[in-house]
Amino acid sequence: MRADARRNLDKIVTAAAAVVAERGIEAPMEVIARRAGVGVGTLYRRFPDRNALIAALGDHYVHSLADALRRSEENVPDAWTALREHLTWTVDPGRGALASAMAELPDEVFLDRPDFARARGHWLEMLDALVHRAQAEGAMRPDVTTEEVLALLNLFACHPADLPAAVAARPARFLRLILDGLQATAATEPPTAPA
């Protein structure tokens, strides 16, 4: 592969991640190309269709998800805090709707990409384990399932353009509000200080 071609490939992936984070998984191919400073033709030469591009992105993203989760678990002793830290990472602007993109992924994307599916499954398992641990440690209300936590997370993840402006502006703040409600008791840690 020629040097300039590789350069462009990188630019495309970077741009695609950004655009998908901002506009969701259905962002027009042309917007991505333009953002990468490249013609649509170049984009299509590299990725025969949208799914190929999304899969490339997803592969990337899912791995960093798993890494981030592992990192949180290592740095933070208690499960609840680790969970909160990880979810906050997830919601970071710039990562934006990527999590959503992963959630929305049509099945076709996974066909012929077992590695991707596996990596995603791995992350889900780790998350599930963390939730259970947090509950076992008594830091998290026990009547909430991992699936529900994910659903709550995905609330942030509908098409970015449709998010309430306030939430889009300060996702971490709102995530925090929501997570506070998942604690076993607010007494353990009183709500963030009164204004």
Encoded tokens for 118: 């596996």
Which of these ranges, 5-13, 31-39, 43-51, 177-185, lies near a second copy under the rule CB under 8 A? 177-185
The residue type found at 119 is A
Helices 146-154, 114-136: axis angle to 10 degrees equals 110
Question: Shortest distance, CB of residue 102 to a second copy, whole angstroms?
Answer: 12
Question: Shortest distance, CB of residue 177 to DNA, whole angstroms?
Answer: 32
Burial level of 82, CB count in 10 A (0-12/13-18/19+)? buried
Question: Shortest distance, CB of residue 47 to a second copy, whole angstroms?
Answer: 24
Q: Which partner in a second copy, DNA, none is near 4 (CB below 5 to 8 A by kind)?
A: DNA
Contact 70, 82 (CB under 8 A): no
Compute the distance between CA of residue 106 and CA of residue 126 in angstroms, rounded to an integer. 23
Compute the distance between CA of residue 25 and CA of residue 174 in angstroms, rounded to an integer. 23
Question: Shortest distance, CB of residue 25 to DNA, whole angstroms?
Answer: 10
- Residue 24 or 171 with smaller CB distance to DNA: 24
- Residue 161 or 169 with smaller CB distance to DNA: 161
For 195, the 3-state DSSP assignment is coil
179 binds a second copy (CB under 8 A): yes
Q: Could you give the string, one character per residue 139-158, with x where binding to a second copy holds by CB under 8 A and - elsewhere?
A: --xxxx--xx-xxx-xxxxx
112 binds a second copy (CB under 8 A): no
Q: Could you give the string, one character per residue 27-56, with x where binding to DNA holds by CB under 7 A and - elsewhere?
A: -xxx------xxxxxx-xxx-xxx------
> What are the angstrom distances between the C-alpha of 150 and each of 75, 130, 139?
22, 13, 18
Compute the distance between CA of residue 133 and CA of residue 152 in angstroms, rounded to an integer. 19
Helix (H) or strand (E) holding 164: none
Which of these ranges, 37-45, 76-84, 111-119, 169-177, lies near a second copy under the rule CB under 8 A? 169-177
Q: How many CB atoms lie within 10 A of CB 168?
A: 17
The footprint of a second copy (CB under 8 A) covers 103-104, 141-144, 147-148, 150-152, 154-159, 162-167, 173-174, 177-187, 190-195
Q: Write out the residues near DNA by the rule CB under 7 A.
A: 1-5, 7-9, 26, 28-30, 37-42, 44-46, 48-50
